[in-house]
Structure 1
Amino acid sequence: MKKRSTHLKRILYCCSYFIFLIISLHSCKKDKKSPDYPAGSNENINTWIIDSLKRYYYWNEQLPSDPNIGLSPKVFFNSVRNASDRFSYINIPNDATTITPNNRNFGFDYVTVSDQNSAKVIGIIKLVLKDSPASRSGLKRGDYISKINGKTLTTANAQALQEEILSSDRFSITLAEQNNNVWTDTRAIELTKGAILDQKEISKVIESDGKKIGYLYFLDFNGGLASSLIPVFSNFKAEGITDLILDLRYNSGGQVAEAAAICAMIVQNISFDKAFITYKGNKNGGTRTESIGTAATFDRTVNFNVLLQQNLGLSKVYILSTAATASASEVMINNLKPFIQVIQIGEKTRGKDEASFRIFDARIPKQVNWEMHPIVYKLFNAQGTGNYSAGIPPDLTVNEINTLPLLPFGDQADPLIKAAMARISGKVAKTGVSLNTMLSGAFQPGNILMDSRAQSAQQGIIITHR
């Protein structure tokens, strides 16, 4: 009896020990869980950032294993970005302190160039947005700048003066003109930041050598663009154009859907199910190929049958490009090639062969105000061609800065348009063309010291859906 009692005690002791062990192990597991950081703290925000990147980020397998989540969110995000990642960014919408500034709110872009034959440096207005502080001040494409904030432009201060513009809400520029080899200041203009609306396209039909050539310029691929261009393509079709010049020289991109929809109104023998774009992501995202119909209509801003009604049935297209041509513009260039001949004229593009989508905190209640646009996919056309991170080189190299003054968009004497029209008419050799024309006087454009439009193209990104 005594032995049985001792045996039972041993059994109870063993059971108690195992129960204690199980509870202890369970407690250890709980202790290893991520701490519950206060909402709004760097640790809470950065935990959300890294968890999201682990799921979506193209380079998710190279993320650091133990990042410093105590950093401020923007510093943290940049600290975990892959070395190959040139374009991912994070900000708080409508919080200017978190957004990389550009010239858009002033309504103009310019390039600073040196003279080949002297120490003279001049700024050249490349782009003036409609209904902007710049346009209301009388600035126009082709104007020359001699001073910014009263300081004469030099090779040493060109970038620094651009930084002054970006860091201010108000600044001044002094315009100049050249006569008989002498530069003279004409007037000073003060510009203050303002709201900028979406920019309307510029389109026209040019008749030359018995051909009707459609010309179309637009600045970006914002949502709803293709729908707004339906009347333009309808007019091109009614006019019976034989060729099309797409002016994407300053178009830094936007929505894949808009690029796909515009392509659908251009190419011959198109249908909803024809493959258009391939996305290659991480192991979670995998690889998927999307038809032109699916790509064009996923945001439901256009009906594919309506796009087909405007289709021009062309077998080739002429696309004008510069270093500011980026993202969705490059998708158009690369992804049109399996369908029709693309003749690219101008300069090498920016080189954005990657796409993103917006990642935000969808929890209720929302804990994180930051939003991310990390690189999620590499992009390829229907033939599997991509990998243009170094930029897409032109078939015909023409630098518009070598022909001054810069002319209005759509002007037939513009060097890029002139080169395209010469190619259309067959009046130019296929290997190249020389269109260098010096400004009246001695100034001859040399090195580009700063290009605000090319710099802002760095911030643009190809937007797609999950």
Structure 2
Amino acid sequence: MENTLNIFKRSALHWLCLFFFFIAVQSSCKKNKDQKPEYPAGSNENVNTWILDSLKRYYYWNESLPSNLDISAKPQDFFNSVRNAADRFSYIINPNDPSTYTPNNKNFGFDYSTIKEQTTGQVIGIIKLVLKDSPASRAGLKRGDYINKINGKQLTEANAQTLQNEILSSDHFTLMIAELNNNTWVDKKSVEISKGVILDQREISKVIESDGKKIGYLYLTDFSPGLANSLTAAFSGFKTSGISDLILDLRYNSGGQVAEAAGLCALIAQGVNYDKPFITYKGNKNGGVKTESLGSAATFDGTVNFNTLLQKNLGLSKVYILGTAATASASEVIINNLKPYMQVILIGETTRGKDEASFSISDARNPKQVQWEMHPIVYKLFNSSGIGGYSAGILPDVPVNELSSLPLRQFGEIEDPLLKAAISQVTGKAIAAVNNKLKQAKTKELAVAKVLLDTRIQAANSSIVITHH
């Protein structure tokens, strides 16, 4: 009996040892399976693993990320391979590598449209925007100038994009400014432009008196940090002048900070206060849904005091906004998110359609292993009434094409087609043409048959609403 008991004990001990061995092996296998391999810092595998982990947490479309990925690919190629098909605007850059940036005209300070001209059939460039104190302005370029040659090469339909790329990839280039003489384009002067530093652009503001009304006009290039605070002087002038209406010119404004858009709204609309809901962010399951008040959005970075904005507030019930296909991101937030507060009349063209927001994601580890910086779409945007969904752009209430009347006028001149239409909306009357015969002659000589490319619209494609969440 004792011998049998001993055999049973040895057998039980044997099976118990096997059981614990099996559990240990299973645990080890599971641990090895779950544990991610470690890759050398700076390697494509290391960078791409960080990209994927970040996207799984923040990316709006994180639940549809593809599987079976090649993590040995170059980081930009990898990032583009995992972007959702509906994602038009997310991007990734390496701040230490300029080749990873999308080329643009920011270092030169001008934008232009390339058109096919109706009368002569010739392809010509029209300068649309020249930034103040920029290489372009210092070289003498002006809004409304015409270009017929780039680096000595005549503009054509076939080479328009190639010549634009030459500008973007160079530090120095030459433009030939042309003029139309007896239905023939002739060279006027050669302009050389080199890359240079461009400071923040100030607003253009003025008071226009028309048909007994005082109308405020405000042109803004972007929504850079500190804008709302800098606008308090202009709005103080509007209040002192006793304006009854405001025209907000965002035709080339490709956006920027939500905070500055909120600050501008606080300067314009009636019935505003700190706690008024302003914007709703809808993210993935991790981000959830967040509604932010007007005051919180406008003051999060401490650049402006909300009471200061309220002191300059115009208390308007209606605003007229000038927009084009280059009007994007934070500019569209202004258009959409003012609507619960007041009547918004959009004049011009359908806007770009950026109803999404991003924030910068970089490696927060110490020491940092990844030098890349991501700007993925994190949120879809809605106003305080829950209205958003303008990815196809916001349609104008009053359609106007600024190229319908040439030459282009300077910002704030009442003969500008967009501004003229806005003033007509304010007063209910058509604006009499200034020097009508000259205007009709120039319009008859020069008309747009086809727009081939627009550098400002291309720049708007790379802009994203920037939020602090």
Range of TM-score over shorter length: over 0.9
Does the 8 Å CA contact 2:332/2:353 hold for their aligned counterparts?
A: yes
1:453 matched to 2:456: yes
Gaps of 5+ in 1: 430-435
1:388 Cα shift? 0.7
1:51 aligned partner: 53
Note the 1:317-328 alignment, pairs <5 A.
317-328=319-330
Amino acid of the structure 2 residue aligned with 1:5? N
Q: Give the alignment partner of residue 171 of structure 1, picking from 167, 170, 173.
A: 173
The yes-or-no answer on 1:190 pairing with 2:164 is no
Q: Deviation digits for residues 99-130 of structure 1, max 9, x if unmatched? A: 10111111110000102233211100001111
Partner of 1:303: 305
Secondary structure of 2:217 counterpart:
strand
Of 236-245 and 111-120, the range deviating more from structure 2: 111-120
| Corresponding residue number in structure 2 for 1:347 | 349
The answer (yes or no) to whether the contact 2:115–2:453 under 8 Å persists in 1 is yes
Identity rate, percent: 66
Q: Is residue 2:289 matched to residue 1:293?
A: no
Tell me the CA shift for residue 182 of structure 1: 2.2
Counterpart AA for 2:65 = L
Deviation digits for residues 27-64 of structure 1 (CA, Å, limit 9, x no counterpart)? 21222111011111111111111111111111011001
Q: Which moved more, 1:119-128 or 1:202-211?
A: 202-211
**Preserved CA contact (<8 Å) 1:223 1:258:** yes
Q: Kindly state the Cα deviation for residue 131 of structure 1 after the two structures are TM-superposed.
A: 1.4
The DSSP-based 3-state class of the residue aligned with 2:180 is strand
Asked if the contact 1:111–1:124 (Cα under 8 Å) also holds between the matched residues in 2, the reply is yes
Q: Distance in 1 between matches of 2:138 and 2:445?
A: 31
Q: Give CA-to-partner distance per residue, 1:206-238, whole Å, 9 cap, x none.
A: 122221111111111111111111111111111
Equivalent position of 1:5 in the other structure: 6
- Structure 1, 439-448 or 164-173: larger mean CA deviation: 439-448
- Which residue of structure 1 lines up, in the alignment, with residue 40 of structure 2? 38
* 2-structure distance, mates of 1:297, 1:308: 12
Q: What is the rounded CA distance, in whole Å, between the counterparts of 1:311 and 1:293 in structure 2?
A: 13
Q: Secondary structure at the match of 2:192?
A: strand
1:25 aligned onto 2:26: yes
CA contact (8 A) 1:233 1:311 kept: yes
My pick for the range that moved more, 339-348 or 173-182, is 173-182
Ranges in structure 2 where 5+ consecutive residues have no aligned partner: 432-438
Q: Answer yes or no: is the 8 Å Cα contact 2:119–2:183 preserved in 1.
A: no
Partners of 1:437 and 1:36 lie apart in 2 by 71
1:412, distance to aligned residue in structure 2 (A): 1.7
2:460 is aligned with what amino acid? A
Aligned length: 460
SS for the counterpart of 2:333 is helix
Query: Shift of the alpha carbon at 1:272?
Result: 1.2
- The SS at the match of 1:300 is coil
Determine the C-alpha separation between the residues in 2 that align with 1:231 and 1:441. Answer: 41
Task: Give the 3 Å change call, closer, same or farther, for CA 144–94 of structure 1 in structure 2.
Answer: farther
Q: Quick check: 1:403 aligned with 2:405? A: yes
Q: Higher mean Cα deviation, 86-95 or 325-334?
A: 86-95
Among candidates 85, 88, 102, match of residue 86 of structure 1: 88
RMSD: 1.5
Matched letter for residue 456 of structure 1: A
One-letter amino acid of the structure 2 residue matched with residue 4 of structure 1? L
How far apart are the structure 1 equivalents of 2:19 and 2:297? Answer: 59
Match of 2:111 in 1: 109
What is the aligned partner in structure 1 of residue 442 from structure 2?
439
Q: Is the Cα contact below 8 Å between 2:120 and 2:184 reproduced in 1? A: no
Distance in 2 between the 1:442 and 1:414 partners?
18
* Contact 1:179–1:441 (Cα < 8 Å) also in 2: no
- Residues in 2 aligned to 1:333 and 1:232: alpha-carbon distance in whole angstroms: 20
* Counterpart for residue 432 of structure 1: none
Amino acid paired to 1:335: N
Tell me the secondary structure at the aligned position of residue 104 of structure 1: coil
Q: Distance in 2 between matches of 1:161 and 1:410?
A: 31
> How far is the alpha carbon of 1:443 from its aligned partner?
2.8
